[in-house]
Amino acid sequence: MVQNAWLIPLFPLVAYLLLFVLGRRAQEGIVTAISVLAALAGFIVSLLILSDVHANGASAPYVFHWLTVGQNTLSMGFEVTPLNAMMLTVVTFISTLVLLFSKGYLHGDARYSVFYQYLNLFIFSMLGLVISPNLLQVYIFWELVGLCSFLLVGFWYFKPEAAAAAKKAFIVTRIGDVGLFIGIVLIYVATGTFEYSGVFEAFEAKKFAIDWITPDHFITLVAILMFIGAMGKSAQFPLHTWLPDAMEGPTPVSALIHAATMVAAGVYLVARAFPIFEASPDALTVIGIIGGITAIFAALIGLTQNDIKRVVAYSTVSQLGYMVMALGVSAYAASTFHLMTHAFFKALLFLAAGSVIHAIHHNQDIRFMGGLWKKLPLTGWTFLIGALALSGIPPFAGFWSKDEILLGALKSGNTTLFVLGLIAAFCTAFYIFRVFFMTFTGEFRGEKEVYEHAHESGSVMTIPLVLLSIMAIVAGLLNSPLTDHAFEHFIFGGGEEIGKVYDTEWWLAGLATVVALAGIGLSYLMYKSKSINPEALANGPLRPFYQLSLNKFYVDELYHVAIVKPVVWIGHILNFIDKWVVDGIVHLFGEGTYIGSLGLKYSQNGQVQTYGLVTLIGALLLIGAAMYAVGGVK
């Protein structure tokens, strides 16, 4: 079965081409049917491959010759490992549900078909990234998913915020891409290959074809450069700012791309190339710290946000921080496990949020929601399940995976990271239940009429919610003591352990649960029973902290002052120099030439003399410098 893995990305590509040929006026039903069937076919093949890998373990990559560069040949192809078999299944599963959900969510949109085209293109690119057997191919698809993300975030381009967010997402993630690209090229220079297997061998032997840096420093340098790429895609501090803004895209996009799949690509890359990172303890330390900071930082911002999607977005940033932190403390299995469970419950939370937004006419501000449980019981239940899973309440999915990350942090001796993780877990439980209570309980605070008309959407939107809820409940059991950590055995492919694995500490699981319950409890007191007045807190002694969190620690403003403004100013200054100083000097000469050559007057304006003069000055400078250099001028 494994040799057929190339089919999986092919399905959405074919769907994309079909939709493209059908054009923008294709009927909604046909468009959805083609897309969902393609994704479903991919899911079925993925499942077959998953069971094959489960039975037979990973196989060698399938590659074909792509091009010859000098003495080296580069290849393209695909590979199936336990890790990417899991990713393929998760991506195709969530894609199928999101494509289905979008039928309801985008019903009637003038560019319905275009939306599905972009989504299919994205799914193709994401699957291509996952099955790549070499770093060059990863980079190619890495850029493609970024491009699709740009198109989808800006899908509602008539909203200025959406266009701005699309641009921001594209440019901020490109900063990371630059790091990744340099890292990949350095690896190629040092090892002569892009293939994972060849690269890993070279890194294990520490034999590199470069002499300007010691092997150990080289490994750290490359690991950090690649991690910068992961930081951009996976929205790690300080490159996290694009992800919350990307919520301007339609909600199904947020669920698929900005929660479950593309943003996890950074984590996936670090996990896939883990031998590179494992070879550098320094790089791992950096990764752990960045992950820890991101986890707590985003959780603190999430406490005070009022836009339902933004809260969930900050929680995504925070959970990605957990995964990165887990990799930093070598808890490989815990990180990949959390990647999987998070994909389920975060997609669920986004789709449930989408269902709410859809029901009350695209309002996203939780201050104008409330009491929706009665109107949207199914959405309420599923959101509650997602919230419990995110908070880490047993037996929901997030409990098992988050617990393992905290365990890994503690056992590796990084007590600070462990404490940060625990505080972030408290904040997480608090803010997600703040959203839950403000949305579903109490009185509706928006327009009465909207509330009257709010109703549960059709089955295309509720079926995905239910299926994802089931996964959010049971997926965690896969790596629990109850199933003898089946996931771990699977992800190691029956071979050696990657990273470190620890036995479950029940006291820790208990502590994490208590912390999460405390967060939920506080949230209950503030937003349900109203025994604590949140307004009084916000305007009282905690005001500075409240403002800091509400304004997202002023990171965007900081970037504006520290980077954007200086660059603009440098631009102004260069412009000024160009306009007044260079032009002025040239003009001075130019006038002279002009007077001296009245015969050329009819050439419309003086510029052509200027051009000639600049050419001559350039020539004289070059020749002068050269003559000086070769000693022709004494």
Partner 1 sequence: MNGINGVTQLAFSDVWRVMAPEILLVLGGFLILVLDLFMNKESSRRLSPQLGILFLIAAFVMTIRNFGLVSDQTAGGTGELLNLSNMLYVLDDFGNVFKLLFTAGTALVLLMSIDFFKQNPEVKVAEYTYLMLFATTGAMVMASSLDLITLFVGLELLSISSYVLVAMRRNHAKSAEGGMKYLVIGSIASAMALYGMSFLYGVTGQTNLAYGAQTVIQMWLQFKPLLTLAFLLMLIGFGVKVSLVPFHQWSPDTYEGAPNPVTAFLAVVSKAAGFALILRTFLWGFSGVFGDVYIYLVILAALTMVVGNVAALSQKNIKRLLAYSSVAQAGYLLLPLAVLGKGKSIDNIWLALGQTSFYLVAYLFMTMGAFAVLTVVTRQAGNETLEAFRGLWKRAPFLAVSMAVFVLSMAGMPLTAGFIGKFYIFLGTINTEMYWLGGLLFATSAIAFYYYFGVLKAMFLKDSAVQSHDKIQVPVSLTVTIAIGLIGTLALGIFPDLLMKFLNGLHWFGQ
Give the closest residue to 421 by CA, choosing from 323, 500, 497: 323
Count of residues near partner 1 by CB under 8 A: 53
Q: State how beta strands 72-78 and 62-69 pair.
A: antiparallel
Is residue 250 within 8 Å of 122, Cβ to Cβ? no
Q: How far apart are CA 147 and CA 164, in angstroms?
A: 15
Q: How far is the CB of 70 from partner 1 (least distance, A)?
A: 6
Is residue 527 within 8 Å of 429, Cβ to Cβ? no
Determine if 69 is a binding residue for partner 1 (CB under 8 A).
Answer: yes
- Nearer to partner 1 among residue 68 and residue 529 (C-beta): 68
Determine if 14 is a binding residue for partner 1 (CB under 8 A).
Answer: no
- Nearer to partner 1 among residue 180 and residue 343 (C-beta): 180
| Interacting positions 150-169 with partner 1 (CB under 8 A) | 151, 154, 157-158, 163, 166-167
Cis peptide leading into 244, omega within 30 of 0? no
Q: How far apart are CA 333 and CA 391, in angstroms?
A: 20
Q: How far apart are CA 188 and CA 200, in angstroms?
A: 12
Q: How far apart are CA 501 and CA 499, in angstroms?
A: 7
Tell me phi and psi for residue 24, to 5 degrees: -80, -15
Q: How far apart are CA 447 and CA 584, in angstroms?
A: 63
Q: How far is the CB of 156 from partner 1 (least distance, A)?
A: 10
Q: For residue 290, give every residue at least 6 positions away whose Cβ sits within 8 Å of its Cβ, in sequence order, or none.
A: 227, 231, 236, 237, 321, 324, 328
- Nearer to partner 1 among residue 29 and residue 631 (C-beta): 631
Determine if 181 is a binding residue for partner 1 (CB under 8 A).
Answer: yes
Q: Which of 144, 221, 286, 511 binds partner 1 (CB under 8 A)?
A: 144
Query: Which run of H or of E encompasses 410?
Result: helix 397-411
- Nearer to partner 1 among residue 26 and residue 289 (C-beta): 26
**Binding piece for partner 1, criterion CB under 8 A, among 224-232, 385-393, 529-537, 601-609:** 601-609
Q: How far apart are CA 482 and CA 418, in angstroms?
A: 25
Q: Which of 65, 207, 453, 601 binds partner 1 (CB under 8 A)?
A: 65
Q: Which of 174, 445, 500, 587 binds partner 1 (CB under 8 A)?
A: 174
Q: How far is the CB of 124 from partner 1 (least distance, A)?
A: 11
| Interacting positions 371-410 with partner 1 (CB under 8 A) | none
The amino acid at residue 292 is: G
Determine if 70 is a binding residue for partner 1 (CB under 8 A).
Answer: yes
- Nearer to partner 1 among residue 447 and residue 583 (C-beta): 583
Q: List the beta bridge partners of residue 76.
A: 64
Determine if 140 is a binding residue for partner 1 (CB under 8 A).
Answer: yes
Q: How far is the CB of 611 from partner 1 (least distance, A)?
A: 4
Determine if 588 is a binding residue for partner 1 (CB under 8 A).
Answer: no
**Binding piece for partner 1, criterion CB under 8 A, among 77-85, 178-186, 248-256, 376-384:** 178-186
DSSP, collapsed to helix, strand or coil, labels residue 116 as: helix
Determine if 631 is a binding residue for partner 1 (CB under 8 A).
Answer: yes
Token match 């972009």: residue? 118
Q: Which of 3, 24, 561, 570 binds partner 1 (CB under 8 A)?
A: 24
Is residue 357 within 8 Å of 300, Cβ to Cβ? no
Calculate ∠ Cα 110-112-115, nearest 5°: 125
Q: Which of 525, 564, 581, 600 binds partner 1 (CB under 8 A)?
A: 600
Q: How far apart are CA 435 and CA 314, in angstroms?
A: 13
| Interacting positions 608-627 with partner 1 (CB under 8 A) | 608, 610-612, 614-619, 622-623, 626-627
Q: How far is the CB of 619 from partner 1 (least distance, A)?
A: 5
Q: For residue 177, give every residue at least 6 positions away whose Cβ sits within 8 Å of its Cβ, in sequence order, or none.
A: 142, 143, 146, 229, 232
Q: How far is the CB of 614 from partner 1 (least distance, A)?
A: 6
**Binding piece for partner 1, criterion CB under 8 A, among 265-273, 374-382, 418-426, 597-605:** 597-605
Q: List the beta bridge partners of residue 74.
A: 67
Per-position DSSP letters for 355-366, written without gaps between them: HHHHHTTS--BG
DSSP, collapsed to helix, strand or coil, labels residue 69 as: strand
- Nearer to partner 1 among residue 22 and residue 37 (C-beta): 22
- Nearer to partner 1 among residue 470 and residue 633 (C-beta): 633
**Binding piece for partner 1, criterion CB under 8 A, among 38-46, 297-305, 401-409, 603-611:** 603-611
Determine if 18 is a binding residue for partner 1 (CB under 8 A).
Answer: no
Tell me phi and psi for residue 394, to 5 degrees: -65, 145
The DSSP call for residue 496 is: P
- Nearer to partner 1 among residue 541 and residue 624 (C-beta): 624
Per-position DSSP letters for 292-315, written without gaps between them: HHHHHHHHHHHTT--BHHHHHHHH
The per-type count for the chain, helices as H runs and strands as E runs, is 28, 2
Q: How far is the CB of 314 from partner 1 (least distance, A)?
A: 25
Give the closest residue to 453 by CA, choosing from 464, 441, 444: 444
| Interacting positions 227-256 with partner 1 (CB under 8 A) | none
Q: How far is the CB of 608 from partner 1 (least distance, A)?
A: 5
Q: How far is the CB of 226 from partner 1 (least distance, A)?
A: 16
**Binding piece for partner 1, criterion CB under 8 A, among 173-181, 228-236, 268-276, 416-424:** 173-181
Determine if 178 is a binding residue for partner 1 (CB under 8 A).
Answer: yes
Binding site for partner 1 (CB under 8 A): 23-24, 65-70, 139-141, 143-144, 147, 151, 154, 157-158, 163, 166-167, 170-171, 174, 178, 181-182, 185, 188-189, 575, 600, 603-604, 607-608, 610-612, 614-619, 622-623, 626-627, 630-633
